[in-house]
A and B are shown apart, each in its own frame.
Chain A
Amino acid sequence: MTELLQYVANGLVSGGIYAIVAVGFITIYNVSKVINLAQGEFLMLGGMVTVALIGMNLPYGLAALLAILAVTVIGIIMQKYIIAYVKKANPISLIILTIGISTLIRGIASFIWGKDAFSLAPITTNEPISFGGVTIATQSVWILAAVLIVLLLLWYLMEKTILGKKINACSINPMAARLMGISPTKMSMLAFAISGATGAIAGIVIAPLNVTSYDIGVLLGIKGFSAAILGGLGNPLGAAVAAFLLGIVESLGAGYVSSGMKDAIAFLVLIGMLLVKPSGLFGERSVGKGGL
């Protein structure tokens, strides 16, 4: 029983990370219909820039803050100078373009920092926390807290503010939004900025758990993307729930079936689920949301 709870706890932590990545995908997708496959790279940059800045003797907090800012700016640049220029291209070309950007970012990162792994000190302590036989790292509490705060803030922004309404408007009908004086391009830029910032936060909080290197974004990006699809592309809440499910299934699979098959089990569940329900777990909302 303790073992089962421990697997679930492990799964919740990795699920939380997938959730941030998935919500990043959806934030951009909803506004611009672009699936940003460089999302994982935002996480990598968050962790690596923090490590690099701490290496320059900056205090932890400042380094993390600067890293988040830097990645946000990279998100904006990516939208403003690359995505926005090819607005006329169809979504497939844009997706391929983001793959190119992710490879470019990875290449630059490995050029600057090399291909070695780096470690980042935990935010508070290295001592584990234990309750009822279940043990988790103190850092994992930080991860879950960061995930919840990010998700709550995003929910508040989208549902309770005028800015959120504008973003939603662009997502539902860009033409009508434009007629109302809302600029879809600006909203799209904002979406990239939000994705960059949340990605960087996720990258920073997960780095201390194990190690970080130039290529950690690939796998995290794929997992987050799977969660976004599983939750029904377009629905942030669905994506978050699906991400936690994916994390838990993966952890249970590794524990009870085979550790070598960890990723295979998670993706098998994904494929099975999509065969039964092609629109994803919570896919209803995305129907008719294409702005057509």
Chain B
Amino acid sequence: MKKRIVSKWLYPVAIASLVMLSACGGGQQAQPSGGEQPAATGAESKEPIKVGAIFSLTGPNSPLGVPEKQAVELLVKEINGAGGVDGRPLEVVFEDDKSDNTEAVKAIKKLVSKEKVVAMLGSSGTGPSLGMAEFAAAEKLPLISMAAADQITNPVRAGIFKTPHTDVHGTKRVFKYLKEKGITKIAMLNDSNPYGSGWTTQLKKYAPEYGITVVAEEKYGTKDPSMSSQLTKIKGTDAQVLIVAGTNPGPATIVKEAKQLNLGIPIISSHGSANSKFLELVGDAGEGVLMVAGKLLVPDQIDANDPQAAIIKKFSEGYKAAYNELPDGFAGYGYDGLNLLVEGLKQAGGDASKLGEVLEKVKYVGVTGEFTFSADDHNGLTEDSMIMVEVKDGKFQILK
């Protein structure tokens, strides 16, 4: 009797543990892209240049991290196909931070101690990037982040750069638009994570400069299932527009609930949610939502005279050919990040220890914007490389 029970027991348990094991395995598919290489000691000509890349491949930031990784993989192939950097092949070792700050720091420590990478890309989110930047700055390891918040490169730290537009650029671009439209009263509902808080700070800081008053300042938690109470509060104010800063699904939930509550004022969402996932999540509730974003969001609507037109066309066509979908802004951040790193390595003659200084003099036209790094600007972009788009018929439409 006893034996029968035990064997009956074992069967489901064994299956359960197998499934669990494979589920755990799923989260760790981000392993080195090349073979195991011994640590780089001498600068022998055939030794690959090892760069680490940490992106959020799972978790809430995965819609950012996955395209970033895809863009970087594509570019690595292209660079190595054209003879590598300074005659040496480029090897990028990927890690997943699971959209988590602690995981990101663990991953960068691993890449530095085990893989001996000479420079870093990543991560996708502001929180993980700040943790990594702290570590990289202490280790004097050059790092280019793909996260939005201004704090990453402000104050400037040696060797720490970033490619996306900051919340300062986004704020200024939105305010410029509002000024054109004669709108003076805004409400904001931002994620309480570092990305959203960054926006809250900048919106409040620059509002007086553009003659704008903030009449409601609300926040929500990244995992909150409903923001209807905050929206009800905002509905009771005389705000003329609602600004939302967060990464999906938060802004999508807000747009849906705003429609359910009949909020009645336009919503402007930040570049953190500007991707196809947003359109998919909001469905027809998204009609008329405005967004501030990089030009890459609408590659086919960019003016041919634009200095970025050529590189945007090249990147979006190459990406489409490889992955059968158009790149979004996040893919562009990854693409620009590695391009900048390679540009820096070339100018430094392959010597990564000089990368930090060299990058400060780099000028490069990317898909995100025209980068002009300097000793006191490690982001190198201006708000003029951002555009305002409107969701029309389930697509992003550029506003002239």
* A223 closest partner in B (C-beta): B225
Task: Verify A136–B260 contact, CB threshold 8 A.
Answer: yes
* A100 closest partner in B (C-beta): B16
The answer to the question of A161 belonging to the interface, with a C-beta cut-off of 8 Å to chain B, is no
Known: A6-B232, A211-B252. A135 touches B12 (CB 8 A): no
Cα–Cα, bound, A114→B248 (Å): 15
Grouping DSSP codes into helix (H, G, I), strand (E, B) and loop, the B interface class, with mixed when no group exceeds half, is helix
Chain A residues near B166: list those with CB within 8 A.
none
Known: A85-B5, A211-B249, A216-B225. A139 touches B260 (CB 8 A): yes
- Of B221, B233, B277, the contact of A3 (CB 8 Å cutoff): B233
Nearest-neighbour CB distance to chain A for B59, whole angstroms, equals 5
Chain B residues near A96: list those with CB within 8 A.
none
Task: Verify B226–A255 contact, CB threshold 8 A.
Answer: no
Task: Verify A117–B230 contact, CB threshold 8 A.
Answer: no
Cα–Cα, bound, A137→B260 (Å): 4
Task: Verify A128–B260 contact, CB threshold 8 A.
Answer: yes
The answer to the question of B219 belonging to the interface, with a C-beta cut-off of 8 Å to chain A, is yes
- Of A115, A136, A254, A255, the contact of B58 (CB 8 Å cutoff): A115
The answer to the question of A36 belonging to the interface, with a C-beta cut-off of 8 Å to chain B, is no
Task: Verify A128–B261 contact, CB threshold 8 A.
Answer: yes
List residues 183-216 of chain A with CB under 8 A from any CB of chain B: 206, 209-211, 213, 215-216
List residues 226-279 of chain A with CB under 8 A from any CB of chain B: 250-251, 254-255, 259-260, 262
B17-25, B143-151, B303-311: which lies at the interface? B17-25
* B254 closest partner in A (C-beta): A210
Cα–Cα, bound, A261→B230 (Å): 12
Task: Verify A128–B20 contact, CB threshold 8 A.
Answer: no
Task: Verify B24–A107 contact, CB threshold 8 A.
Answer: yes
Cα–Cα, bound, A24→B61 (Å): 33
Cα–Cα, bound, A125→B23 (Å): 37
Task: Verify B16–A210 contact, CB threshold 8 A.
Answer: no
Chain B residues near A126: list those with CB within 8 A.
259-260, 283-285
* A103 closest partner in B (C-beta): B20
Task: Verify A119–B281 contact, CB threshold 8 A.
Answer: yes
Task: Verify A119–B9 contact, CB threshold 8 A.
Answer: no
Grouping DSSP codes into helix (H, G, I), strand (E, B) and loop, the A interface class, with mixed when no group exceeds half, is helix
Task: Verify B23–A14 contact, CB threshold 8 A.
Answer: no
- Of A2, A7, A128, A220, the contact of B259 (CB 8 Å cutoff): A128
Chain A residues near B260: list those with CB within 8 A.
126, 128, 135-137, 139-140, 209
Chain A residues near B223: list those with CB within 8 A.
215, 219
Chain B residues near A211: list those with CB within 8 A.
249, 252-253, 256, 281
The answer to the question of A93 belonging to the interface, with a C-beta cut-off of 8 Å to chain B, is no
Cα–Cα, bound, A132→B172 (Å): 39
Task: Verify A3–B5 contact, CB threshold 8 A.
Answer: no
List residues 278-312 of chain B with CB under 8 A from any CB of chain A: 280-285
Chain A residues near B284: list those with CB within 8 A.
126
Task: Verify B280–A119 contact, CB threshold 8 A.
Answer: yes
- Give 7 closest A-B pairs by Cβ, nearest first: A137-B260, A254-B229, A117-B249, A210-B253, A107-B23, A111-B23, A211-B249
Other A-B pairs beyond A119-B282, A121-B283, A209-B226, 19, CB < 8 Å: A3-B235, A6-B235, A6-B261, A7-B232, A10-B228, A10-B229, A13-B228, A81-B12, A114-B58, A119-B281, A126-B285, A128-B261, A135-B262, A136-B260, A140-B260, A211-B281, A213-B249, A220-B225, A255-B229
A-B contact pairs, 17 of them (CB 8 A): A3-B232, A7-B229, A111-B19, A111-B23, A115-B60, A117-B60, A121-B283, A210-B226, A211-B281, A219-B223, A220-B225, A251-B228, A259-B219, A259-B220, A259-B229, A259-B230, A259-B233
